Structure 1
Amino acid sequence: MSPLSLTAADIDNEIINKILAGEKRAFEQLMRRHNTSLFRLGMSILNNDADVEDAMQTTYIAAYQHLSSFRQDAAFSTWLKRILINECSQQLKKRKKVVREDISVLDDHHSVNITEVKESPVDKVINKELGTALEQALLQVPEKYRLVFVMREIEQLSTIETSQVLNISTVNVKVRLLRAKLILRGKISDYYKNDLVFPFHLIRCDRIVNNVMTHLGIV
């Protein structure tokens, strides 16, 4: 197959075959190919960059450990995103449990304002004005609509790819995307597609790659 005719999935599969054949360091290529996409997806769920980094590292470790079970007739990116979404869901459950426990402890001593224990908004870690504005608007969109919006409009996944990642019908993808756009209408609808949304910088990329490779003992 000509290099010009290779799809993103083909390239992923070539790298995966190298890893399975013993070229373990090739896993770094996979991570760097998918880091930005996973970060944006994770931020749309967790809204905390440190938590997302943890979720990404756990995702990559799990993917590496189960790489031999990956069916290459499917898209690696879809498989990887499903792992990340599951990991983010687990983190949300833990976060809610901690909040409930904190509230319980505080209630034993005095009344508590629940807003005091909420996560810090994304604008504390994102400096670009437009990116911050869009992120704040997106975070006002319910998660099930926000996920579809990020995948379709920012990550440019197809309707079918998005339905596979989220395990919902293509019709549902279209409905949720429309609903997300309606919620965002009148705010910053002209700035959907740009790299200012949950930006993923090289330093963060290197940190995640190095942490995963170290954990896996790949030097």
Structure 2
Amino acid sequence: MNPPADHMTDTFSDEEIVKRVVNGEKHLYEKLMRKFNERLYRISMSIINDDKEAEDIMQTAYLNAYRQLSNFKHQSSFSTWLIRILINESLLHKKRKAQLEKTLTEHIRIDHQPETPLDNLMNKELKAILEKAVLTLPEKYRLVFVMREIQGMTTNETMEALEIGESNVKIRLNRAKEMLRTELNSYWQPGELLEFNLTRCDVIVNYVMHKINAG
């Protein structure tokens, strides 16, 4: 007995799935989205630094890519082609947002920028500290760092996605790491590492008290 069509596509390459989608099997596009959701989210966040806006940008990028699938020339991998669409959409969104904020400042005084979800979590957990440190990197260094170190993309994939040379990828990655070390050193002294923080304390206390009260 042959396996269901959806299971069979698990062995297909991205490019083969693209061809099947173009030929009418629209439901298979979901497989591509689920495969690349995390990668696109991280890359968009490295540009936008707002999770809700990043999700909106991803949706737009996926729709744009779907509408252009028939024009996909297979000169690069599908993932590289999709990432380029996402980066372009993210940068366009950032430009529009900057223009809107500039217009608003002509009419009202903005005392401070609203905090993002990541800002609200700052200094609560190491994860939040690391995320903030990454987001402080200048955009060109942040993109390379996210692609290479967080998303695990190869040097060649990064080169193709950003349309820069190999030496530029390596230089930007090394510079990003140097800047991160400097940024992270400002957060703690050696004696503060592995500190038993309030969050962990609350978890343990609440659990034990719940068990005591339940008994």
What TM-score comes out, normalization by structure 1 length?
A: 0.74
Letter in 2 for 1:146: R
Match of 1:52 among 48, 54, 76: 54
- Greater Rg, structure 1 or structure 2? 2
Kept in 1: contact 2:122–2:132 (CA 8 A)? no
Tell me: higher relative CO, structure 1 or 2? Use CA pairs within 8 A at least 6 residues apart.
Answer: 1
Once the two structures are superposed, residues 98-118 of structure 1 have per-residue CA deviations (whole angstroms, 9 ceiling, x without a partner) of: 1111211115xxxx43xx135
Kept in 2: contact 1:9–1:76 (CA 8 A)? no
* RMSD value, Cα: 2.3
Kept in 2: contact 1:46–1:92 (CA 8 A)? yes
**Change over 3 Å in CA distance of 1:128–1:26 after alignment to 2:** farther
Aligned length: 175
What TM-score comes out, normalization by structure 2 length?
A: 0.75
Return the offset for 1:90.
Answer: 0.8
Match of 1:26 among 25, 28, 33: 28
What's the counterpart of residue 100 of structure 2?
98
Gaps of 5+ in 2: 1-9, 186-215
Return the offset for 1:185.
Answer: 1.3
Letter in 1 for 2:175: R
Once the two structures are superposed, residues 109-163 of structure 1 have per-residue CA deviations (whole angstroms, 9 ceiling, x without a partner) of: xxx43xx135525243799823211111011111100000000001111111101
Letter in 1 for 2:88: N
**Change over 3 Å in CA distance of 1:127–1:117 after alignment to 2:** closer
Kept in 2: contact 1:39–1:53 (CA 8 A)? yes
Match of 2:143 among 137, 141, 147: 147
**Change over 3 Å in CA distance of 1:167–1:9 after alignment to 2:** farther
Gaps of 5+ in 1: 1-7, 189-219
What's the counterpart of residue 76 of structure 1?
78
Return the offset for 1:20.
Answer: 1.7
Kept in 2: contact 1:148–1:176 (CA 8 A)? yes
